[in-house]
Amino acid sequence: MQSYSSHIPQQRTLMGPGPSDVHPRVLNAMARSTVGHLDPDFIALMDQTKALLQYAFKTDNALTMPVSAPGSAGMEAAFVNLVEPGDTVIVCINGVFGTRMRENVVRSGANAVTVEDDWGKQTDLNKLEDALKANPTAKVVAFVHAETSTGVRNDAEKIAALARQYGCLTIMDAVTSLGGIDVAVDEWQIDATYSGSQKCLSCVPGISPVSFSDKAVEVIKSRKTPVQSWFLDMNLIVGYWGQGGKRAYHHTAPVNSIYALHESLIMLHEEGLENAWRRHARVHDKLVAGLEDMGLEMAVDKAYRLPQLNVVKIPEGVDDGHTRQRLLNDFNLEIGAGLGEFAGKRWRIGLMGAACTDKNVDYCLAALKSVLN
């Protein structure tokens, strides 16, 4: 019979597209003793976690909570709750995650109208307005705030304003934006948004913070058809995560992962949102200066570049796989490969949350210099 032993993972520096370096405080919190998912001790923690997520999303939305699964499930929660079969949804696509949104629309039995822009460019507001005019019965506009596959920041505020002007709800992917750049859910009047724990929150992967506006909640409550997913049905989940002392069992919450999320949100609160954004911007500038000094070229226009995800053109003649393997093996350093049409052509260097430090930039630049020379 095969024998097995405990797994001691490598000690990496995580500068890819996520997971990012998890702070020891967060790892420590996660290892605390498990309590029941209906324990008053845990319910108090749930309430704090919701309040801290409201802070992070800059929202008063009552339905702000973590979905018990990764960001992909958070995305699915937004679509299967807001969209019904036969609805029309306009999806802005300029990378992998816009494409995934369209897939969610189709699997919800709805019609997807796409507004497509080149990877590495922003969603074109004129094209979006044309699509809104051409589809007067469209119910939702869906877009990605920070495209993890391309390093582009879309103009969330303007996209949401345009959608509202044409009477549409908005679904915003904030997986990579939350905690790294401004995400102003109430100010921008976003109706549904979701994020991931493992990006700029620097928590362990596996949890997806979501927030739904009161208008979105009304739409979910007055659906004609049941939500196709029992696990993600917000009408049921509010009985557990909702307001009030009495919580009804829906599913068993991932208690220890919520400990971790709570601790990571406390750390964000301690630093302050604005300070966190400033840190991401400053450290990003340092990384870009260092990369350009080495003759490397950034792939995204400065005007809408994400500080937390730096997409770099792989120089002619450099072997992508070999370079990343040497960084991993010789430096315990992970940077991200290109996704989709950028495979082999781009690197994605993350500066997310706890990984967004001067030390990491110095280390990454030194490692890259060593491997590329």
Q: Which residues, 24 to 63, sit near a copy of itself by CB under 8 A?
A: 25, 27-37, 39-42, 45, 48, 51-52
Nearer to a copy of itself, 57 or 132 (CB): 57
Nearer to a copy of itself, 189 or 228 (CB): 228
Contacts of 301 (CB under 8 A, 6+ apart): 121
Identify residue 104 by its one-letter amino acid code.
Answer: N
364 lies in the site for a copy of itself, by CB under 8 A: no
Question: 258: closest CA among 22, 23, 1, 29?
Answer: 29
For residues 176 and 8, give the distance between their C-alpha atoms in angstroms, rounded to a whole number: 28
252 lies in the site for a copy of itself, by CB under 8 A: yes
Closest separation between CB of residue 346 and a copy of itself, Å?
15
For residues 150 and 343, give the distance between their C-alpha atoms in angstroms, rounded to a whole number: 11
Question: Using CB under 8 A, which of 4, 224, 246, 302 touches a copy of itself?
Answer: 4
Closest separation between CB of residue 48 and a copy of itself, Å?
6
Binding string, residues 67-106; x marks residues near a copy of itself by CB under 8 A: -xxxxxx-xx-----------------------x--xx-x
Question: 335: closest CA among 295, 296, 368, 293?
Answer: 368
275 lies in the site for a copy of itself, by CB under 8 A: no
Nearer to a copy of itself, 128 or 351 (CB): 351
**Residue 213 near residue 191 (C-beta atoms within 8 A):** yes
Closest separation between CB of residue 171 and a copy of itself, Å?
14
**Residue 258 near residue 207 (C-beta atoms within 8 A):** yes
Chain positions 329 to 358 lying near a copy of itself, rule: CB under 8 A, are 334, 339
Nearer to a copy of itself, 70 or 290 (CB): 70
3-state secondary structure of 185: coil
Q: In angstroms, how far is the first alpha carbon of the chain from the final one?
A: 47
Other C-beta atoms closer than 10 Å to the C-beta of 327 total 21
Chain positions 111 to 150 lying near a copy of itself, rule: CB under 8 A, are none
Nearer to a copy of itself, 256 or 323 (CB): 256
Contacts of 244 (CB under 8 A, 6+ apart): none
66 lies in the site for a copy of itself, by CB under 8 A: no
Of 136-144, 223-231, 290-298, 357-365, which segment contacts a copy of itself by CB under 8 A? Answer: 223-231
DSSP H stretches of helix in 39-138:
40-57, 71-82, 96-107, 125-134
276 lies in the site for a copy of itself, by CB under 8 A: no
Identify residue 356 by its one-letter amino acid code.
Answer: C
Nearer to a copy of itself, 52 or 174 (CB): 52
6 lies in the site for a copy of itself, by CB under 8 A: yes
228 lies in the site for a copy of itself, by CB under 8 A: yes
Query: Do you find a cis peptide bond into 9, omega within 30 degrees of 0?
Result: no
**Residue 141 near residue 105 (C-beta atoms within 8 A):** no
For residues 92 and 70, give the distance between their C-alpha atoms in angstroms, rounded to a whole number: 22
Nearer to a copy of itself, 55 or 166 (CB): 55
Question: Using CB under 8 A, which of 83, 131, 192, 204 touches a copy of itself?
Answer: 204
